[in-house]
Amino acid sequence: MPYDLIVIGSGPGGYVCAIRAAQLGMKVAVVEKDKTFGGTCLNVGCIPSKALLHASELFDEAGHTFGKMGIKVGAPALDLPAMMKFKDEGVDGNVKGVAYLLKKNKVDAFQGVGRITAPGKIEVESANSKTETIETKNIVIATGSDVARLRGIDIDEKRIVSSTGALVLPKVPAKLLVVGAGVIGLELGSVWRRLGSQVHVVEFLDRILPGMDLDVAKSFQRILQKQGITFRLSSKVTAIDSSGPTLKASVEPAAGGAAETIEADVALIAIGRVPYTEGLGLEAAGVKLDDRKRVAVDAHFATSVPGIYAIGDVIAGPMLAHKAEDEGVAVAEIIAGHAGHVNYDVIPNVIYTFPEVASIGKSEEELKAAGVAYNTGKFPFTANGRAKVNLQTDGFVKILADAKTDRVLGVHILGPDAGNMIAEAAVAMEFGGSSEDIARTCHAHPTLTEAVKEAAMAVEKRSIHM
Ligand code: FAD
Ligand code: NAI
């Protein structure tokens, strides 16, 4: 008997979709080419990077702030292999968790590369080149994304690395060159800076974190510079000579001009990610791609071929695990005849550095460009009691609310634990809440979340602690 649904790819999009479909009574299978489930996120993305961010942040604190709190531990010593083991064990626990959940929900798993040979037919080629064809009523493509490469620069994952290589470096590079001041560059740049590297970031644009509220990005850059990371904006790396003992990178102004040489022990290429559709047989199956080689889908995740859907990094939208997960749930519900839906206006974006950066909804630049009149409420962590006593006062909360209706349009937090705090804004926005709704909601004292309440009060210029 054919399956009701086969999902190709077991990342956050794919495995969540498979589980939701099984909950809805479908006979489901996943096809995964890698040895473990969980995709980029669990194996070489979110989970290992957060493990290293957590461990390196504590290492940094032990060296710099424990003393101020009366904790005498001496200078902390780094045991990098042990830190890597801690990270690997975290990954292992998570990928095994996905295997357990798939089994618990009676989702069959096929290990191998899946190729769509016809609507309803998938050929799976396993590592030993054996092939088998499985049949299904519906297919969800959840094959994710891959590292974007720089022309003429070979990523060997040893000295010239992508995020994947940067998560397994065997020793702390004395000099780390990061190409791209996006999320990966700043998160992994922070990890290695804390562990002892001199980190230099080259960014093509005249700002870091394109897309993020500019006010936040500028303040964040200043904080990172205070921590020791150096930046060269409006510049591009055009070549890297790896013939000698140190790498020699040619760096030019973005607009063109004379090249300079920057030396480094390791170069991290973090200039974005591209949809992964290799070997899927999409062209032969008639599945259309968009202008950026992403699988083209309609508002119900349907591709150009009936019965074939796509979700996650392989389609348009932010390349985020929680976006992929929500699409996985929505498409499973749509296939089951329910009304699955993702609200793309309310997707949080978090950068897990210290301090963290979290944002949701529109930036000031987006509101200005759209001609929307808005009010701004801003509150700094220097005026928050908990942040002060914790000696963590860098950053602020900014709330943007519609000038006429007071509806919250965007929330931007630069500060400790911003990633957890943004959830409050997400709920408020999902319910169409106003800044006054947040301002009149009782927030526990003393917590960092009081800064969110105060920023909401600041929209009406009535914050108390400023
Ligand atoms: P993926 O997770 O990429 O999974 C796709 C799966 O499909 C893979 O397992 C792949 O092996 C499999 N596959 C591909 N082709 C085939 C085929 N033909 N047959 C069988 N299997 C196939 N996002 C966040 O939200 N928060 C974070 O903190 C975060 N940190 C990140 C850190 C790093 C270093 C990186 C690289 C990414 C990070 N991301 C983060 C992004 C996040 O990992 C992705 O958005 C997410 O994994 C996308 O999920 P997906 O299911 O669409 O695809
Ligand atoms: P990114 O798109 O966030 O940043 C890439 C940066 O590189 C941009 O600032 C861009 O202007 C710059 N750039 C592009 N070409 C360049 C060049 N030739 N020279 C110099 N700079 C150049 O991509 P990144 O950091 O690689 O991350 C990929 C994806 O992974 C992101 O879309 C993100 O959503 C996801 N991710 C999410 C995380 C999170 O949610 N915390 C963590 C890590 C990754």
Q: What CA–CA distance (Å, rounded) separates 31 from 143?
A: 10
Contact yes or no for 301/212 (Cβ under 8 A): no
Q: In angstroms, what is the span from residue 212 Cα to ligand 1's centroid? A: 22
Atom of ligand 1 nearest to the CA of 46: 30
Q: In this structure, which residue's CA is closest to atom 27 in ligand 1?
A: 46
Contact yes or no for 16/102 (Cβ under 8 A): no
N- to C-terminal Cα distance for the chain?
Answer: 67
What was the pLDDT predicted at 138? 98
What was the pLDDT predicted at 127? 87
Indicate the average pLDDT of the chain. 97
Q: In this structure, which residue's CA is closest to atom 3 in ligand 1?
A: 144
Enumerate residues 6+ apart whose C-beta is below 8 A from 7: 14, 15, 17, 18, 21, 28, 29, 30, 31, 139, 140, 142
Residues of the chain with pLDDT > 90, as a percent, come to 99
In this structure, the dihedral spanned by the alpha carbons of residues 98, 99, 102 and 108, taken in order and rounded to 10 degrees, is 140
Positive or negative: CA dihedral 144, 149, 151, 154 = negative
As given in the structure block, the two tokens for residue 465 are 């602690």
Q: What separation in angstroms does the CA of 106 have from each of 21, 30, 318, 324, 338?
A: 11, 11, 30, 22, 21
Q: Report pLDDT digits (tens) over 8-30.
A: 999 999 999 999 999 999 999 99
Q: What CA–CA distance (Å, rounded) separates 135 from 31?
A: 12
Told to judge if 338 belongs to the known catalytic residues of this protein, a careful annotator would answer no
Q: In angstroms, what is the span from residue 133 Cα to ligand 2's centroid? A: 37
Confidence of residue 201 (pLDDT cuts 50, 70, 90): very high
Q: What single letter denotes the amino acid at residue 72?
A: K
Q: Which residues pair with 239 in a beta bridge?
A: 250
Reported pTM: 0.98
Q: What separation in angstroms does the CA of 263 have from each of 98, 224, 314?
A: 42, 21, 35
Cα atoms in the 13 Å half-sphere on the side-chain side of 276: 21
Q: In angstroms, what is the span from residue 198 Cα to ligand 1's centroid? A: 29
The predicted model gives 149-178 an average pLDDT of 97
Q: Report pLDDT digits (tens) over 206-244.
A: 999 999 999 999 999 999 999 999 999 999 999 999 999
Q: What CA–CA distance (Å, rounded) separates 267 from 261?
A: 13
Residue 118 has pLDDT above 80, yes or no: yes
Q: What CA–CA distance (Å, rounded) separates 400 from 162?
A: 36
Q: What CA–CA distance (Å, rounded) separates 413 from 349?
A: 10
**Pick from 403, 383, 402, 401: which is nearest to 393 by CA?**
383
As given in the structure block, the two tokens for residue 398 are 């900014």
Atom of ligand 2 nearest to the CA of 183: 25
The predicted model gives 29-53 an average pLDDT of 98
Enumerate residues 6+ apart whose C-beta is below 8 A from 51: 86, 87, 90, 91
Enumerate residues 6+ apart whose C-beta is below 8 A from 103: none
Residues of the chain with pLDDT > 70, as a percent, come to 100
Name every protein residue with a CB atom under 6 angstroms from any ligand 1 atom. 8-14, 31-34, 39-41, 45-46, 49-50, 113-114, 142-145, 163, 184, 276, 279-280, 312-313, 319-322, 324, 352
The predicted model gives 183-199 an average pLDDT of 98
Q: What CA–CA distance (Å, rounded) separates 393 from 387?
A: 5
As given in the structure block, the two tokens for residue 212 are 């993020």
Relative to the alpha carbon of 349, which ligand is closest? Answer: 2
Q: In angstroms, what is the span from residue 46 Cα to ligand 1's centroid? A: 9
Name every protein residue with a CB atom under 6 angstroms from any ligand 2 atom. 150, 179-185, 187, 202-205, 210, 236-237, 270-273, 318-320, 350-352
Specify the 3-state DSSP secondary structure of 402.
strand
Q: What CA–CA distance (Å, rounded) separates 368 from 354?
A: 29
**H, E, C per residue of 325-376:** HHHHHHHHHHHCCCCCCCCCCCCCEEECCCCEEEEEECCHHHHHHHCCCEEE
**Pick from 311, 317, 237, 297: which is nearest to 269 by CA?**
237
- The residue behind tokens 């931007």 is 412
Q: In this structure, which residue's CA is closest to atom 12 in ligand 1?
A: 9
Probe target for ligand 2 pocket from 184, 190, 269, with the most ligand atoms within 8 Å of CB: 184
Residue 164 has pLDDT above 80, yes or no: yes
Q: What CA–CA distance (Å, rounded) separates 143 from 280?
A: 9
Relative to the alpha carbon of 164, which ligand is closest? Answer: 1
Q: Report pLDDT digits (tens) over 335-391.
A: 999 999 999 999 999 999 999 999 999 999 999 999 999 999 999 999 999 999 999
Residue 153 has pLDDT above 80, yes or no: yes
Q: What single letter denotes the amino acid at residue 128?
A: N
Instruction: Give the single-character DSSP code of 48.
Output: H
- The residue behind tokens 């526990």 is 444
What was the pLDDT predicted at 133? 97
Other CB atoms closer than 10 Å to residue 187's CB: what's the count?
19
Probe target for ligand 2 pocket from 49, 150, 183, with the most ligand atoms within 8 Å of CB: 183
What was the pLDDT predicted at 292? 96
Enumerate helices (H) and strands (E) in the chain, giving the number of each: 14, 22
Q: What CA–CA distance (Å, rounded) separates 446 from 383?
A: 12
As given in the structure block, the two tokens for residue 11 are 């990342």
Residue 1 has pLDDT above 90, yes or no: no
Q: What is the largest CA-CA distance in the chain?
A: 69
Select which of 64, 338, 445, 465 is catalytic: 445
Q: Report pLDDT digits (tens) over 310-339.
A: 999 999 999 999 999 999 999 999 999 999
Q: What is the CA radius of gyration of the chain?
A: 23
Contact yes or no for 172/80 (Cβ under 8 A): yes
Enumerate residues 6+ apart whose C-beta is below 8 A from 170: 80
Atom of ligand 2 nearest to the CA of 352: 41
